[in-house]
């Protein structure tokens, strides 16, 4: 998971912030990993990503969806999110997430029906409603 985090984020972090600070990124990963309950994403027995969601009282929050860079664009993230949206529909809950401004995953979320609620200096805050 630590290697996946670096592989998945290095490019977008460098594009958005100008550099990749390895010690800082490892510190942030450690904090996320300690508090998150990640699920492995597998395809035909191969580990291709991780998903971390939190069920809140009034919504489902996607903390993180990471797919191996060499597997991105192949529909894996769309399938994971579609499954998640079906679950949210069954619960009649909206799904919320935040995505870095320079992260191309935003286009996936928009295709799936997420709308931008707000923009911070670093992220788009998005919601999907069943």
In whole angstroms, how far apart are CA 22 and each of 12, 25, 98, 121? 14, 5, 22, 22
Question: What would the pLDDT profile of 82-122 be if each residue is shown by its tens digit?
Answer: 999 999 999 999 999 999 998 989 999 999 999 999 999 99
Tell if the pTM clears 0.75, that is, is over it: yes
Residue 123 burial by Cβ neighbours in a 10 Å radius (0-12, 13-18, 19+): middle
Q: Which pair of structure tokens corresponds to residue 101? A: 């401004």
Q: Write down the pLDDT at residue 43.
A: 87
Question: What would the pLDDT profile of 5-53 be if each residue is shown by its tens digit?
Answer: 788 778 888 878 888 888 888 888 888 777 778 888 988 888 899 999 9
Do 89 and 130 touch, CB atoms closer than 8 A?
yes
């Amino acid at each position: 998971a630590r290697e996946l985090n670096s592989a998945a984020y290095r490019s977008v972090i460098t594009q958005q912030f100008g550099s990749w600070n390895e010690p800082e990124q490892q510190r942030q990963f450690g904090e996320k990993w300690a508090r998150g309950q990640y699920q492995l994403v597998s395809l035909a027995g191969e580990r291709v990503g991780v998903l971390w969601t939190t069920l809140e009282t009034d919504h489902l929050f996607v903390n993180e969806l990471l797919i191996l860079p060499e597997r991105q664009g192949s529909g894996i993230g769309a399938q994971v999110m579609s499954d998640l949206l079906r679950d949210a529909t069954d619960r009649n809950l909206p799904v919320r997430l935040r995505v870095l401004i320079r992260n191309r995953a935003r286009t996936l979320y928009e295709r799936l029906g997420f709308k931008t609620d707000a923009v911070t200096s670093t992220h788009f805050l998005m919601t999907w409603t069943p």
